[in-house]
Structure 1
Amino acid sequence: MPEGHLIHRHAREQHAALAGQPVQLSSPQGRFDPSPYADKSLTAVEAYGKHLLYHFIDAPVLHVHLGMRGLFLRFADPTVPPRRGTRLRLAGPEVAYDLIAPIRCEPLPPDAERALRASLGVDPLRDDADPVEAVRRLTAAAVPVGTALLDQRIWAGIGNAWRAELLFLAELTPDAVSVGDARARRLWQLAVEYLALGRDAGQVVSDPTAPDERWVYKRERCRRCGSPIRTWQLGGRTAYACPVDQPAVAER
């Protein structure tokens, strides 16, 4: 599933390419009704966690969630015909984006938009993110920190790859239950810093000196110390940790 850094990258790119002008919406697949958006100008493309929100003048907010298989195809020539399986095409004068296989592509009335926002936690890549609230939500979770990080009601936008790499950088084992304020603040600072690097690079970047490498995620051995990576199921996903660099910790 695309994690928050890629969703924010999509929002930034599409906002720059399409906002401020009429955007033509179509659904070659026929599973989305574009009529409420006919001849409407797009004012903003907003990312919140793993969700995209498209704001139009005099039209409902358009909500997109890519899920596990969803993706965007970009066409520099908007006259290129879309694939038949395209759920939604967003076409401006100079560029088009085709949305393939999302789990959500729907108009949101105001009450549904409010409910969506209320359901989401603090997003490390949003300008309105509250670090104090982020720490409060994480430390209040009575579950292992690795489970909490995948809960979008606590922090929005974190997926399994970022969970593994951020916890390695914070020297926290995913199954630690009590991490304390200091460690939670450190983990939040790492999320803010590294997700921004990932957004700009278009991939998970947990080591700026080797952006294509990972410390523990989907590795057999720790890239730092060479120890065999420990893997187990946690929060419905495979957890990865180095037993040397991510020992069990006491709250502090």
Structure 2
Amino acid sequence: MPEGHVIHRIARDHAKEFAGQKLIVLSPQGRFAEGAEVLSGRKLQTVDAYGKHLFYRFGGGKRLHVHLGLYGKFRDHPAPPPEPVGQVRVRAIGERRAFDLNGPNACHLVTKQEADAILDRLGPDPLRDDADPDRAWERIGRSRAAIGTLLMNQEVIAGVGNIYRSEVLHLMRVHPETPGRDLSGEQFDQMWEHLTELMEIGLKYKRIIIADPAQVGKPRSRMNRSERLLVYKHDRCTTCQAKVRSWQLAARTMYACPKCQKR
């Protein structure tokens, strides 16, 4: 599932390419036919990202909510676009560009009240200027749940996924099964700073990059996948060379170094 930096990148790119234009909106697959008919011919005003959710606001107060889930994917094309490939839920065509959306977990029109209800369920998003980290600390600081579980809960912090949780906890030398309430306020502040910085790097470079360029000996733009990450899907910890442990935590595979991240 795409993590928050990917969603913010899509919002930024689509706002740049399509905002201010009246779009032709279609549903080649047919599952969004009624919604496409409502949106087609309306001007796209804004595209906003919050965590793993996208909101496209059109003229007339119409809003499209998209959550990619595990299988959702956007494909961008020059306009006019080629024949649809696969089950295209939404096709939007602007003046110079177009995009297709395949396989999203959620794709439906929402009212402002429904959009607000979705946002009210989410924790703060490290990539947003309006994020209030104290809201996340209030949940984490009193929770018996493992911090590795809490980081996957979008109601605690929005936009964090499996890679960021593994890598940030490794940077902090915190065991993933440490109860949230056992973290200090200073540790939470450090975690939030790491998440904000690393997700901004991911937004800029279109990929998750954790490693320090000085230690790798390459700029971020030239690192390969194994160089960009420190423990995620690694056999050995890049810090101490101990064997990385993996196990299921919050229904996803957690990666941690038993030497750097002792219980």
TM-score (norm 2): 0.91
Q: What SS does the aligned partner of 1:232 have? A: strand
Counterpart of 1:238? 253
Counterpart of 2:190? 186
Kindly indicate whether the alpha-carbon contact (under 8 Å) linking 1:36 and 1:59 is maintained by their aligned counterparts in 2: no
- Encode CA deviations 1:109-147: one digit per residue, 9 max, x unaligned: 222112101110110001110122232232233201000
- Structure 2 CA distance for aligned equivalents of residues 208 and 108 of structure 1: 42
Counterpart of 1:37? 39
Kindly indicate whether the alpha-carbon contact (under 8 Å) linking 1:28 and 1:84 is maintained by their aligned counterparts in 2: no
Kindly indicate whether the alpha-carbon contact (under 8 Å) linking 2:79 and 2:94 is maintained by their aligned counterparts in 1: no
Instruction: Write the letter of the residue equivalent to 1:167.
Output: L
Match of 1:196 among 190, 195, 200: 200
State how 1:158-177 maps to structure 2 within 5 Å: 158-177=160-179
Instruction: Write the letter of the residue equivalent to 1:197.
Output: I
4+ long deviations beyond 6 Å: none
- Encode CA deviations 1:13-68: one digit per residue, 9 max, x unaligned: 11110001111111000000211112111111101101100011104210001000
Kindly indicate whether the alpha-carbon contact (under 8 Å) linking 1:72 and 1:97 is maintained by their aligned counterparts in 2: yes
Counterpart of 2:16? 16
Kindly indicate whether the alpha-carbon contact (under 8 Å) linking 1:62 and 1:105 is maintained by their aligned counterparts in 2: yes
Q: Percent identity?
A: 38
Kindly indicate whether the alpha-carbon contact (under 8 Å) linking 2:26 and 2:40 is maintained by their aligned counterparts in 1: no
- Structure 2 CA distance for aligned equivalents of residues 200 and 23 of structure 1: 27
- Encode CA deviations 1:176-209: one digit per residue, 9 max, x unaligned: 1111211011000100000010011111111241
- Structure 1 CA distance for aligned equivalents of residues 131 and 175 of structure 2: 25
Kindly indicate whether the alpha-carbon contact (under 8 Å) linking 1:216 and 1:229 is maintained by their aligned counterparts in 2: yes
- Structure 1 CA distance for aligned equivalents of residues 67 and 238 of structure 2: 33
Instruction: Write the letter of the residue equivalent to 1:221.
Output: R
- Structure 2 CA distance for aligned equivalents of residues 221 and 71 of structure 1: 32
Stretches of structure 2 lacking an aligned partner (at least 5 in a row): none
Instruction: Write the letter of the residue equivalent to 2:136.
Output: A
- Structure 2 CA distance for aligned equivalents of residues 216 and 118 of structure 1: 33
State how 1:31-180 maps to structure 2 within 5 Å: 31-32=31-32, 33=34, 34-177=36-179, 178-180=182-184
Q: What's the offset of the Cα at 1:84?
A: 4.8
- Structure 1 CA distance for aligned equivalents of residues 81 and 207 of structure 2: 29
Which structure shows the higher helix fraction? 2
Q: Comparing 111-120 with 49-58, which one deviates more in the overlay?
A: 111-120
Q: What SS does the aligned partner of 2:202 have? A: helix
Q: Comparing 186-195 with 75-84, which one deviates more in the overlay?
A: 75-84
Instruction: Count how many residue pairs are aligned between Structure 1 and Structure 2.
Output: 248
Q: What SS does the aligned partner of 1:96 have? A: strand
Q: What SS does the aligned partner of 2:127 have? A: coil
Kindly indicate whether the alpha-carbon contact (under 8 Å) linking 2:78 and 2:96 is maintained by their aligned counterparts in 1: yes
